[in-house]
Structure 1
């Protein structure tokens, strides 16, 4: 079915390679998404004259249908948007929020904190979803097509059905026990309890009807109408970890336009999402701490280069864990963290031939006293990038947190478990945690939608990733690949990852990094090889032409819209793809 859909849309099919800049000039835009059906939705909107924001919203909605394990209107996300006409970058916060009744002991039972895995299922982990409000806010400022038009591809997929992909089947087989709603068990599994097979056509009439109502009535229907009543009933009446969410919690939720976090890296300007996302600041810290090293000369095959990246990650993640969270509820020393003198002092801790014995957060100017934070994982996430014919660019990362979120569903849509991105315990080592649960607070995120500008002021690359706190490392690694090592975005994304948010760390098993382990060990690195569930998407502009990239570990694809037709950028899949 995927192949039939793509062939129906496309008049031209070209392979994607390192020489992808040789593709025909784009006249109507380019998209990259984690699923071909979502990419096709974006193409359809661009062909109707839609903007980059319009296409991004349509892709988010389509992914809600075909990637129910990863994202959707039952979750939240962030958008970074480049406005070509105004020459500015905007960022939009659709992160979920805790109910007003939440407090630091939200995840306690019988006076003791729940283990993280015990806190995930059920109602208490569900935050007020933010994606629809974010879509509406971005559409009000950057949309060209009618709101209802953006829903039509997703409605058609839900109504007419779509084929289960290997990735979705593997998610069901591996994580399907997380689905605790009666609807979810009946929808995704056979009578004998086995996951429905790859290629099975799934229809979701409940979700199609919900999307049709939101298309006709606007987002208020979801936050004030019948779906709001169903959502509150589902989370408060959950058989596991019931919540205390109210209709007022949903009615009060608003997406927020935030100042983007921008900084320079060599001759480039890097712009990302600010708090409550930790992604933008942490990516900048990793890059800026490496700026004094000649990574281009070292090259991608140098163990020293990867060691330097590992050390910079450790320092940046330590500061992330100590200081970043929801700036509406805590004091974030953002100016101090990004101060050149502070970054220089942190960078001075990195040595090319030795590994730090200990890693601790620094003390940037403006840092609040006595802050401790423990990072939380994210896995049910997706990413997409799009540019339209006018040069506007949207980069979006969307999530429901864990695979299949809380396991609950409403009207055929999975609900998030984002509140487990908070610290389960409100204190650590006797100190108040910055990322503790509080009413109406938004949990810290690792999502890092990023737009990079070249020295000419034009967008050079837009990219983002999925995979929990590996997102930050994935984005930083890909940017170094493109900006320092002059790789294509496709090759930079496909390159193996070194992930070191703490002393020690992991290199991605089965990649070019695994044979480097002995050389890295000689530099003092104590790393192990392990598989990592990674997923990234990007679009880049080289020589005035757009090219797309999608992670070979995923089922993602990029598509260009030209006067000759639609170009599908084929991705060479790795031996273990697709996996979650």
Structure 2
């Protein structure tokens, strides 16, 4: 399938003519009043056709992936090209200062592989590193600090994926993203609002303010933002690979920034120093994980194993839902059971899932049909379980078919609502579902001076103190990977790729993926309908978050409690349609809408 050869790059139509703008390096500049402002590429949320497909939150990133496919690259090449472009245009959600999880279906072998590119804690981190005098430090202070920065895994993930399954070099994969960073992208309302939401803390770090708050002002919609420092960093990566970030001068800059966050002289912000060293950076390794897999109504659903809780939690919930023929129930009952199964699965997630290198995670039992039956028996069609729900015991002893719940434990800590997801597919049957992140929207808020990228605050995904009655699997530790909710998913039907999807959104990622699958498989929605449908996210809390438009009245009558939230997640997916076309799907509205493209909208024979 792969020949690992580098293909030549030609200029792209999208960016032709932009050099005439003559923008000053690193500055955001509005066009003169007499000139029209640059136009952002159009966002189209659904595309159908042949030859390959890409769906992301951003049209520049989607176009980068499609260009790679059109020039003969495969789905892995397209995923890295799109991800690198998202590092430019969606820098508050992802980039080389973060990490992620990469799920790949190999069209040649039919196998599904996963890469764990999750950030790791420094070797000096201990279980009490997020406490002072025995109490957890304020969460906001942890977020914007060097202490929250995990060792980035994204550069090594890209390099590993390309070397194993790609057909182009890092140089070729980063080419389009480097051009976008140098020439700039058009600011939209979502980017401006995200900047506004972070403006106060961005202003406290000169390198961050220079890049994202030029002249101390918010970027204007329709103006162009350039990042020449990131373009230079990408050029280093193109020559040296991931070593350009984990060793050498960039690594020294990263560690210096983490250990002594470069605050403005007049700032009174508490930005705690971090623990990362050059040895931590140089020692980072991507980990091969066996994917999780469950059968669901004749489908094979593959996901990401721990330290992600996505595969186990989505899989366990699906196993519980399969105990009943949901297709025979009305929509209220389907959604009721979806919410109950989600709440139960989150109770078990919080108690049992962490980094498998540091704690014993009973993955096989969590995904067993026997454990699912034991937990599903708690679900009543007429009422809800009291919240919080107690965790079960995935111990292999299921003699008591429906044991009484034990003691409820505390909720897990908060997770940042940002992150991004992309999905790619090619004409050879290769499929990628890739979720990557820098955690909070804006990550730590700290740009590495002179390098053009934000550092993550991923270590805040650890529990700051024990929330699980003495057995919290997600406490910090040396070299440990914090538990994640990222849920990149690939679904096979009859052994062939049928559907791939994922979403950003912190812990709501799990419920977004789960509900989208229920919408598509059990409620008979098309993938665009399943993605667009109003969402609710039940995570074993005192109330369930629900978007506007999600019908709650009949569910409230069953005992559910809801709290309003503007939006949940921002999914992308690709489905193989019965007639052989690929359908790429992104959000129509959430996070400003996403972008879906295919290589060729017309059947090749008919086009000729």
**2:356 counterpart of 1:356:** no
Written as runs of structure 1 = structure 2, the 5 A alignment for 1:538-553 is: 538-543=573-578, 544-552=580-588, 553=590
**1:477 alignment partner in structure 2:** 515
- Measure how far apart 1:14 and its partner are: 12
Greater mean alpha carbon deviation, residues 52-61 or residues 516-525: 516-525
Cα shift readout 1:104-131 (whole Å, capped 9, x = no counterpart): 1211235532022221101000000001
Name the residue aligned to 1:449: 488
Q: Report the CA distance between 1:194 and its aligned residue.
A: 3.4
SS class of match (1:409)? coil
1:337-348 equivalent positions in 2, closer than 5 A: 337-348=366-377
C-alpha distance in structure 2 between counterparts of 1:111 and 1:37, whole Å: 47
Tell whether 2:301 aligns with 1:270: yes
1:57-99 deviation per Cα after TM superposition (whole angstroms, max 9, x unaligned): 1111000000011001100000100001111000000000000
Aligned equivalents of 1:201, 1:562: Cα separation in 2: 29
C-alpha deviations, 1:423-472, integer Å up to 9, x for none? 111x3475142100001000000000000011x21111000000010000
Alignment of 1:80-479 (within 5 A): 80-179=103-202, 180-191=204-215, 193-238=216-261, 239=263, 240-299=271-330, 302-358=331-387, 359-365=389-395, 374-410=412-448, 411-425=451-465, 427-428=466-467, 431-454=470-493, 456-479=494-517
Shift of 1:205: 0.7
Structure 2: any 5+ residue segments left out of the alignment?
1-11, 18-41, 264-270, 398-405
Gap change, CA 1:14 and 1:256, over 3 Å in 2? closer
What CA distance in whole angstroms lies between the structure 2 residues aligned with 1:549 and 1:408? 33
Shift of 1:298: 2.7
Equivalent residue for 1:558? 596
In the TM superposition, what whole-angstrom CA distance separates every residue of 1:394-448 from its partner, at most 9, and x where no partner exists? 11000000011011112110100000000111x3475142100001000000000
Who is 1:534 aligned against?
Answer: 569
For residues 533 and 483 of structure 1, the distance between their equivalents in structure 2, rounded to whole angstroms, comes to 20
SS at the partner of 2:506?
A: coil
1:495 maps to which residue? 533
Give me the whole-angstrom Cα distance separating, in 2, the residues matched to 1:212 and 1:458. 37
Bigger mean CA deviation after superposition, 244-253 or 528-537: 528-537
Deviation of 1:175 after TM superposition, in Å, equals 2.4
- CA distance in 1 between counterparts of 2:563 and 2:468 reads 29
User: Taking structure 1 as reference, are residues 194 and 4 closer, same or farther at Cα in structure 2, changes over 3 Å only?
Assistant: farther
In the aligned structure 1, how far is the partner of 2:138 from the partner of 2:161?
37
Instruction: Indicate if the aligned counterparts of 1:45 and 1:58 stay in contact, CA closer than 8 A.
Output: yes
TM-score under structure 2 length normalisation: 0.86
TM-superposed deviation, 1:481: 1.3
How far apart in 2 are the matches of 1:190 and 1:151? 26
73-82 or 480-489, which deviates more: 480-489
State the distance in 1 between where 2:285 and 2:45 align: 40
**Contact preservation (8 Å) 1:461, 1:539:** yes
The match for 2:100 is 77
SS in 2 for 1:313: helix
Per-residue deviation at 1:334?
Answer: 1.0
The CA deviation at 1:167 is 1.0
Contact 1:372–1:431 (8 Å) recurs in 2? no
**SS state at 2:358 partner:** coil
**What CA deviation, in whole Å up to 9, does each residue of 1:504-543 have, x standing for no partner?**
43343322x2xx3221111111223322342110000111
Report deviation, 1:15.
Answer: 7.1
SS in structure 1 at match of 2:370: helix
Q: Does structure 2 retain, via aligned residues, the 8 Å contact 1:333–1:366?
A: no
- Give SS of 1:431's match: coil
CA distance in 1, matches of 2:13, 2:538: 42
- Preserved CA contact (<8 Å) 2:44 2:594: no
Tell me, yes or no, if the aligned pair for 1:372 and 1:432 is still in contact at 8 Å. no
Aligned residue for 1:5?
Answer: 14
CA distance in 2, matches of 1:5, 1:207: 20
Provide the C-alpha distance between the structure 2 equivalents of 1:76 and 1:342, rounded to a whole number of angstroms: 32
CA contact (8 A) 1:496 1:507 kept: no
Equivalent residue, structure 2, for 1:578: none
Provide the C-alpha distance between the structure 2 equivalents of 1:565 and 1:343, rounded to a whole number of angstroms.
44
Q: Which has more strand, going by share of residues?
A: 1
Preserved CA contact (<8 Å) 1:270 1:284? yes
SS in 2 for 1:525: coil
Structure 1 partner of 2:34: none
| Superposition TM-score, scaled by structure 1 size | 0.90
SS of residue in 2 equivalent to 1:401: coil
Q: Distance in 1 between matches of 2:248 and 2:501?
A: 35
The Cα RMSD (Å) is 2.3
> Does structure 1 conserve the Cα–Cα contact (< 8 Å) formed by 2:43 and 2:596?
no
| Residues 383 and 466 in structure 1, CA contact (< 8 A), matched pair in contact too | yes
- Secondary structure, counterpart of 2:83 in structure 1: helix
Q: Distance in 1 between matches of 2:205 and 2:43?
A: 42
Structure 2 residue aligned with 1:522 = 557
Cα distance 1:55–1:14, how it changes in 2: closer, same or farther (>3 A)? Answer: closer
